[in-house]
Structure 1
Amino acid sequence: MNNQSNLFQDLENLRSKVEGVEFWSARDLQKLFEYKEWCGFENIVKKAVIACKNSSENVENYFVSTYKMVEIGSNTQRELSDYALTRYAWLRMVIQIKKRLHLHKVTLLYRHENKSLLRRDI
């Protein structure tokens, strides 16, 4: 249970809030879900977007394309593509991460504990 508690805390620590709307950066979740390459994790995001569309949801309510500025040295920054993800969006993503079954189970448990915070059941 300690590992699950740590995961829950890590998820909450990565959460941002703007004008009352909570969201997570896909780039931050990439690290948490142990994906080394952005292209592999972005494919998970894209599969989750398709699953959301297939369930007749308005994708723009859950997945927002954004950019993140990162330091690349010598006081220089570079813009990287990112996504702002609602709780519903990252739960959709976790379902797509089949090879990370333990995270799927933990996230379902997390969802169960926080049902009142979700807009829709997956």
Structure 2
Amino acid sequence: MLSLRKNIVLIGIMGVGKTTLGKIVAKERNLKFIDIDENIERKNLMTITEIFEKKGEDFFRNEEKEEVLKSLKKEECIIALGGGAFINKIVRDDILKNSISIWLDLNIKT
């Protein structure tokens, strides 16, 4: 099997299937799967919605940036980004330089 050193980062809007597809591909290829939003929720013991309500968007975006940059240091992972993470220039530049990024799109008719 081809050795994958770079991470594969799944990007797309909320609900497009990043987590679902990421788990399937990771299992099939025996790679580690990382869901950024799930990691943030676990770390803060709150849902994303609760974090936004109680701590604000700035807090969440900082947590998101830190979690993404930490995850990108690992190798051979499938990473599902939160819907807005790719907007951050630091995150985007790191992904484009060091990972394989895949934009997932969904036809509303499907």
* TM-score of the aligned structures, taking structure 1 as reference length: 0.27
* TM-score of the aligned structures, taking structure 2 as reference length: 0.29
Query: More strand by proportion, 1 or 2?
Result: 1
